[in-house]
Amino acid sequence: MKIILSVAAILLGTLFLQAANPPISTIHRGRIQIQGPDMANFPNKELSFSWTRCDPPDKQVNKKKALAELDKMWNELNKTQKKVRKDAYEKAKKYINNSPADGRPADSQSWGDKDDPSKRIDIVVITGKAFKD
């Protein structure tokens, strides 16, 4: 009888934990970074927007939010920092805008200055999706 009660208690405890902590099927994680050695005026020589969001799919970072965050970081750069990243900035915007309607799956892209690739813009979708319409 003690064994049956112990098994029942374990099963009830497991069911309670599952109900209190439902499984997360998808976590949408990623970041957009503008970085380089010429950015000493920023912490860690970079500007960054990162996200971690859980299902449902409408919780992923959409195109509008991603472009707004990219523009926000872009506007913090000085003229010299913008000049060396202008091409990278345009490519990053195009990458976000050209994402599939339901979002871009895990991927990593980096666009750097032709003379100094460390002066760059990175977009990383680590898990899940990002940039849906």
56-115 confidence digits (pLDDT tens) = 656 788 999 999 999 999 999 999 999 999 999 999 999 999 999 999 999 999 999 999
17-52 confidence digits (pLDDT tens) = 444 454 545 788 999 999 999 999 999 999 999 998
Q: How many helices (H) and strands (E) does the chain have?
A: 3, 4
Q: Per-residue b/e over 98-112, b at no fewer than 16 CB within 10 Å?
A: ebeeebbeeeeeebb
- The rounded distance, in Å, linking the Cα atoms of 124 and 119 is 16
56-73 confidence digits (pLDDT tens) = 656 788 999 999 999 999
Supply the pLDDT for residue 26.
Answer: 75
For tokens 């374990």, the residue is 10
Supply the pLDDT for residue 81.
Answer: 97
How far from 72 is each of 57, 86, 116, 121, CA to CA, in Å? 25, 15, 23, 14
- Return the higher-pLDDT residue of 87 and 14: 87
Quote the tokens at residue 11.
Answer: 């099963």
For tokens 């940039």, the residue is 131
pTM surpassing 0.85?
no
Supply the pLDDT for residue 27.
Answer: 87
Contact 112, 81 (CB under 8 A): no
